[in-house]
Amino acid sequence: MTGSAATFAAVFAALYVAHSVGDHWVQTSCQSALKGQHDRNPGESSRTGRLACTRHVIGLTITKGLALAVVVLVLDLPVTVLGITAGLGIDAVTHWWADRRSSLAWFARITGKGEFYSLGTSTHPAAPVTAKGTPAGHLGTGAYALDQAFHHFWILVAALLIAAV
């Protein structure tokens, strides 16, 4: 494995693990509940939602930066400040965009994934219900799966930038 390939692999692993920690352990319940909040007027984002999403992404980016710093220092990886800034920057911007929820829902619709996006919710044509007709528990939603896949793609891009720049 070449030096840049090894650097990419180590950076990707660090960002991937830190993403999971930051998105599920560092993010507060309040941030999770409010980050997609919008005003009642179509197209207007609420200040509360934008701030909650911004706080989440700041915590997530700090988590990724710390994990990356440890891996870079322990493995003595040849990365640059410009590469790290570009990689974490594109990751943060795209994470914020997706986590405002309406933008990712729009993206799912225009790519033909609207029905999958609603999987596991009461709006899906095959919404899970109990024998009594009440909402049934489930292990996740299409929205969550698409959200994580979107983030994983941008983690790949971030790792490439960090390793190559």
The domain spans of the chain are 3-164
Closest CA to 113 of 153, 157, 150, 152: 150
Question: What is the rounded average pLDDT of the residues 79-86?
Answer: 97
Most confident of 6-15, 26-35, 100-109, 130-139: 6-15
In this prediction, residue 116 carries a pLDDT of 83
In this prediction, residue 128 carries a pLDDT of 64
**To 5 degrees, how large is the angle CA 103–CA 148–CA 21?**
120
- For residue 164, the SS3 value is helix
Chain segment 17-70, per-residue pLDDT in tens: 999 999 999 999 999 888 988 876 655 557 889 999 999 999 999 999 999 999
Chain segment 91-125, per-residue pLDDT in tens: 999 999 999 988 899 999 999 998 888 887 666 55
Whether the Cβ atoms of residue 90 and residue 66 lie closer than 8 Å to each other: no
pTM metric for this prediction: 0.84
Contacts of 132 (CB under 8 A, 6+ apart): none
